Structure 1
Amino acid sequence: MIAHSVDDPFYYLHNFRQVLLWVEQRYADLLDEHELAFIHTFSQLQAPAQALLVRMVMRKGELFRSDRLDYAEIGDTALALQPLRALGWVREPEQLALEQLFALLRKDELARCFTAQLSRPRATKHDLLAQLQPLQLAARSLADWFPDSEVRIFQWCLQPLCDRMRLLFFGNLYQDWSDFVLADLGLLRYEQVPFSPDSRALQQRADLDLAMALHYCTERLEQGDDPESILAVMHSLHSDNPWLARRRARLQFALGQQCERLGDWDQAMAVYAQCNHAQARIRQVRVLERSEQWPQAHALALQLAEAPANALEVQALERMLPRLARKLGGPPQRRRRAAPLELIELELPREQAALGVEEAVRQHLAHEGGQAHYVENTLFNSLFGLLCWEAIFAPVPGAFFNPFQAAPQDLHDSDFLLRRSALFEQCLGRLDDGSHRQAILDCYAAKLGLQSPFVFWAMLSEELLTQALACLPAAQLKQCFLRLLQDIRSNRTGMPDLIQFWPEQGRYRMVEVKGPGDRLQDNQLRWLQFCREHGLPVAVCHVRWSETP
């Protein structure tokens, strides 16, 4: 696929054409006659008509004022509209509801339109609508609403069709067309993942229909519809397709959260009990606790503590169990005391605060010897991304939808590792035989600059990479990478801010920096606990600013 520069005034049109070409080539067997006809007919239109259509597709909503469809590169808007109207893709709506009219017209136009009905025509637009709504005015045409209107209203009629195209290209509907068609594709470079029919997430038309149905359920939830009515629809939305099952689980979890917000504890419990989301089990304990069902909450928490699913559950249960025991009348319980951390207490000159607390500490440590770098979450993520590049970009079904993806779609799904277990075992095995250093250096040279969900190219200099590979023990790297894979969303952040290397001695130390009033966050506490358990050298540095010169 050819990238087009924003120097071309029709670059957005070229990019949209690539979307349609890609969808037709990859999913022709899933498209119906109407969708295939749209792709073919669109390709036959003149460029101005194509460009105006894409401009409408990119904008929010389906209704547009004629005076706001003026684009220099398109020229005569009326001429560009003619073929679109002839095809029925764009039309003038027969009726507009009062609220739609208010969304389209300016305040001065509305004051002229409703002169007779408004008691306070100079009020705000919101107040004007409030004055008219009690009249319960029926929907009607623009000409009936406002005979003197100088503008016309046009409606784009193929939004559902284009939504299906967008889903097939992006693999989701939260990305807008502008994410692609307005992008200068020449600025970013992507890994070229091989695409095959077997790697498609959607294999039949029913899969596409179900994906759209789940999307509409999500929209209803976001618009505040009753969760019970959405759940009633979801009862029939089942599939053996793993990609769709994951999407359904995410929607289920969101519905459970909404039930919690509404205080519908029984419904929330029922939803979470049927959901395989990573946080669904701990939410059940929380629902029982919030609904003051202390014995049930305590019993379930004990059950989960016997075999916690992830570190997040461990941390949550450590807080919940003592609290629940107290609710049941038990004695206060001491929390398990963590092994003491190495602490660094620094008092630095106030003027160094302008550098930022992390940079001020980095400079201080550098003066004490060794090489100090501000890395936070970038270094270990980058090393992992380079060592496991092959596994991360494996063309497993449903991972990649188009050639412009920086990360697989299922990156944060609970079975991300399971679906690539053999590949990750092979990559991580290089840490056991010592071949990881060369593998990381080779990947760095071969993939430099390509988009990755883990590799921070701007931060990863050759000097930093060389020092890290010389000082970081392979066994400790492996433990870090395994922890990252347990829960990528939660564990890719919270790592210490700074790292010190002593290359001559082959050793290192990580340092978490906290300025005055700063506290350790939950994800940072989990990483520090991990470091203690596995012998990774780490310290917490508390900084205060000196007021004396």
Structure 2
Amino acid sequence: MNSILRPVSATASLDDPFYYLANFRFVLGWVHEHHAELLTAEEQGFLTTFEALPQAAQALLVRMVMRKGEHFRTGKLAYAEIGDVDRALAPLASAGWVETDPAISLAELFRLLRLAELRQALASEMADAGLSSRASKTVLWETLQPHLSQVQRLTEWWPAAGKMLGGERIVRLTVMPWCDRLRLMFFGNLRQDWAEFVLTELGLQRFEQVELTPGSRAFHRREEVDVYLTLHELRERLEQGESPETLMAEMPVVPAENTWLAQRRARLAFLLGQTAERGGQETLALRLYAESGDGPAGQVEARIRRLRLLERRGEHRQAHALASRAWASAVGEQENQALARLLPRLCRRLGLAPPRRAVESSPPRLDLCLPRAGETPSGVEQAVVEHLSRPEAPVHYVENTLLTGLFGLLCWPALFAPLPGAFFHPFHSGPADLYRDDFVARRRERFERCLACLDEGTHGEAIWRTWREKHGVASPFVFWEGLDETLLEQALACIPATHLRACFERLLSDLKTNRAGLPDLIQFLPGGAEPRYRMIEVKGPGDRLQDNQRRWLAFFRAQGIDALVCHVTWQQDAAP
């Protein structure tokens, strides 16, 4: 393949009017170099044909690919660097990549035409429906949509379109499925898009530069790409309101060895189950929860929802049998917490002795009655900060940013280790396998080397070094705007290394679940022979502790870490 499609640089200068074309070429070159054997002959032909197109045609294709939808008005495709739209469209139409007179639905007609144009195009239908000639677009749609299900060309919808639109046409891009597949094979997901290149070039995003090898790739078999795309399509159809029963029948089989795809499939089954349960399809929901919760990729939420639904349906014996088996196995904190509440209820209903469990003690409590704060999302927390903070004992609003940030800074070398399946393009904010079951196991020695700094007392130096060298680089754990030098300095001076190690090890036990639920505030108490600190969870009127917050508070109690819950009432709301 010609060097035009050989990846050289991840981003093009925005001073180049064809910067977006250079970025698109980079992706095509990357996919050809890393995934060529996963492409069909037709897809390989797309790369070859694209290379042979005139630059204006290439650029126009990319402009359409990067916009929303597949249908476009030619009048909206005017770009100075491309020039004559019809001339640029001709090679694309010859290649079959653009349809120049496509059949369109009523929904597309409404998306593409202005209100005045719709009133002209649908004047006859409006008169038949008794609508005013000044009816709004919303009224037009709600009235006509139930009766106009046909898909037809623009001139069939509106015979005078050619004259009224001054020669402007509607065209349809036919290669979006190919382009989405190529984007997926590059990014490893469909969440990221072409904007990543622009944001990086503007300096609004910076990514860690991890060494990539020929084995650094998201997919190893074409079947895996097909499964991902099918799961993505099913999820979109679910969001559009299609029935979970229909979608369940189309769920693809995941290759046995691909655990991350199995996790995506299990997550979709859980979402289908939730939708079925909300729709009163409880039997279907139970089937979907069972499918989502079983196996090594099983979703904890699905197992818990299944048990609760069985309990609500009065199927106490089956629920008890499932819950007892889970209780006897090595379940995580989240599931154990749910079972500790569920099992005693089931035992009472079945006349059985409840399982032994530790009594959950309440965390220390601080009650404050304060002047009403503003209506901002963090108003109550800020009111507590202002009330408790003193020059010699400052209080900071940190929530889930401080401890996770310190963890991310200390363990940066382990988190960004160039392992197979972790990084496969230049735009990763974190490893692709971050929440897979074997993430920590694959890096255990690397994490231990990082945590050893806490035992040796060198963790402060390591954290500061990363903070300076990597500042602003995307990380799944470091929120740079919430971790300034003052906060970092006070935290390292007041939080003992033993406490940090305990918290970091708890994070590593379940990175996805335990990164949330940390207290809102931290107060540093640097005075005295030994600097101290305390964590403060703030609850405003009517607010209650969430389960993940309860788990962190219980952990703090077990570790001897000072943590309390501050309950706030407003002075004007207090009883006289």
TM-score relative to the length of structure 1: 0.88
Q: Given the superposition, is the C-alpha separation of residues 277 and 421 from structure 1 closer, same or farther in structure 2, using an over 3 Å criterion?
A: farther
Aligned position for 2:5: none
Partners of 1:189 and 1:450 within 8 A in 2: yes
Aligned position for 1:495: 518
Q: Given the superposition, is the C-alpha separation of residues 404 and 341 from structure 1 closer, same or farther in structure 2, using an over 3 Å criterion?
A: same
Residue among 305, 309, 313 paired with 1:283: 305
1:534-549 equivalences in 2 (<5 Å): 534-546=559-571
C-alpha distance in 2, partners of 1:396/1:266? Answer: 43
RMSD: 3.2
Q: Which has the higher contact order (CA 8 A, sep 6+)?
A: 1
Over residues 501-537 of structure 1, what are the superposed CA-to-partner deviations in whole Å (9 max), with x where a residue is unaligned?
2345232211222334433333222211211122111
Moved more, 249-258 or 224-233: 224-233
Tell me the secondary structure at the aligned position of residue 172 of structure 2.
strand
C-alpha distance in 2, partners of 1:248/1:365? Answer: 48
TM-score relative to the length of structure 2: 0.85
Q: Structure 1 residue 66 and structure 2 residue 74: aligned?
A: yes
Tell me the secondary structure at the aligned position of residue 124 of structure 2.
coil
Residue among 239, 242, 257 paired with 2:274: 257
Q: Alignment identity in percent? A: 51
Aligned position for 1:143: 155
Aligned position for 1:342: 364
C-alpha distance in 1, partners of 2:150/2:487? Answer: 68
Q: Structure 1 residue 298 and structure 2 residue 320: aligned?
A: yes
Over residues 68-118 of structure 1, what are the superposed CA-to-partner deviations in whole Å (9 max), with x where a residue is unaligned?
223344333223222222222112244334444344333433332333343
Query: By how many angstroms is 1:463 displaced?
Result: 3.2
The AA in structure 2 aligned to 1:520 is L
The AA in structure 2 aligned to 1:245 is A
Over residues 120-146 of structure 1, what are the superposed CA-to-partner deviations in whole Å (9 max), with x where a residue is unaligned?
343444554565566667433222332
The AA in structure 1 aligned to 2:159 is P
Partners of 2:343 and 2:354 within 8 A in 1: no
Aligned position for 2:23: 15
The AA in structure 1 aligned to 2:216 is S
Gaps of 5+ in 1: none
C-alpha distance in 2, partners of 1:112/1:28? Answer: 50
Residue among 425, 430, 436 paired with 1:413: 436
The AA in structure 2 aligned to 1:139 is V
Tell me the secondary structure at the aligned position of residue 304 of structure 2.
helix
C-alpha distance in 1, partners of 2:374/2:216? Answer: 53
Moved more, 81-90 or 422-431: 422-431
Aligned position for 1:210: 227
Partners of 1:386 and 1:443 within 8 A in 2: yes
Q: Structure 1 residue 79 and structure 2 residue 87: aligned?
A: yes
C-alpha distance in 2, partners of 1:366/1:114? Answer: 66
Aligned position for 2:463: 440
Query: By how many angstroms is 1:481 displaced?
Result: 1.4
C-alpha distance in 2, partners of 1:134/1:259? Answer: 26
The AA in structure 2 aligned to 1:167 is L
Q: Structure 1 residue 430 and structure 2 residue 442: aligned?
A: no
The AA in structure 1 aligned to 2:290 is A
Partners of 2:199 and 2:205 within 8 A in 1: no
Over residues 223-259 of structure 1, what are the superposed CA-to-partner deviations in whole Å (9 max), with x where a residue is unaligned?
3444344334335443423333332232233333333
The AA in structure 1 aligned to 2:417 is A
Partners of 2:218 and 2:421 within 8 A in 1: yes
Tell me the secondary structure at the aligned position of residue 123 of structure 2.
coil
Gaps of 5+ in 2: 1-8, 293-297
Over residues 392-414 of structure 1, what are the superposed CA-to-partner deviations in whole Å (9 max), with x where a residue is unaligned?
11233332231111122232333
Aligned position for 1:270: 287
Q: Structure 1 residue 513 and structure 2 residue 538: aligned?
A: yes
Aligned position for 1:115: 123
Partners of 1:515 and 1:544 within 8 A in 2: yes
Q: Given the superposition, is the C-alpha separation of residues 346 and 45 from structure 1 closer, same or farther in structure 2, using an over 3 Å criterion?
A: same
Aligned position for 1:51: 59
Q: Given the superposition, is the C-alpha separation of residues 325 and 137 from structure 1 closer, same or farther in structure 2, using an over 3 Å criterion?
A: closer
Query: By how many angstroms is 1:262 displaced?
Result: 3.6
C-alpha distance in 2, partners of 1:166/1:290? Answer: 44
Aligned position for 2:478: 455
Query: By how many angstroms is 1:385 displaced?
Result: 0.4
C-alpha distance in 2, partners of 1:78/1:191? Answer: 42
C-alpha distance in 2, partners of 1:137/1:344? Answer: 63
C-alpha distance in 1, partners of 2:532/2:44? Answer: 62
Aligned position for 2:343: 321
Q: Given the superposition, is the C-alpha separation of residues 401 and 295 from structure 1 closer, same or farther in structure 2, using an over 3 Å criterion?
A: same
C-alpha distance in 1, partners of 2:93/2:331? Answer: 56
Partners of 2:373 and 2:383 within 8 A in 1: no
